[in-house]
Amino acid sequence: KQEVTQIPAALSVPEGENLVLNCSFTDSAIYNLQWFRQDPGKGLTSLLLIQSSQREQTSGRLNASLDKSSGRSTLYIAASQPGDSATYLCAAINQAGTALIFGKGTTLSVSS
């Protein structure tokens, strides 16, 4: 059974810092991995999707990497801003391509 873990659960940083959010998964037979952002009480916004054959994806200040062999993914946020404050969730999609299996998220607070 696939399990996804995110560390740390919460993170507070001053504006301008570069930071790394970690995600680990137990079953390396994933179809792809997706990172999301969730603002309080809101739905999920897709940030990056990494196909199982890829090693990383970039969008603006965000870079996500995937290492299937070690069961890890990282989300790198460069030059953090207060507007980046949110909960970041990673999710592994199963081989059938149906279910997203989520971690509990990392809640990020960026202070100005």
Give the residues lining the site for another protein (CB under 8 A): 4, 31-32, 34, 36, 41-46, 49, 51, 89, 91, 93, 96-105
* Residues 6+ positions from 32 with CB-CB distance below 8 Å: 49, 50, 51, 52, 92, 93
Residue 84 C-beta: closest distance to another protein, Å: 19
Residue with tokens 């890890």: 72
Task: Write out the two tokens for 20.
Answer: 């790394």
Nearer to another protein, 96 or 112 (CB): 96
Nearer to another protein, 14 or 106 (CB): 106
Nearer to another protein, 51 or 70 (CB): 51
In angstroms, rounded to a whole number, what is the distance separating the alpha carbons of residues 111 and 60? 20
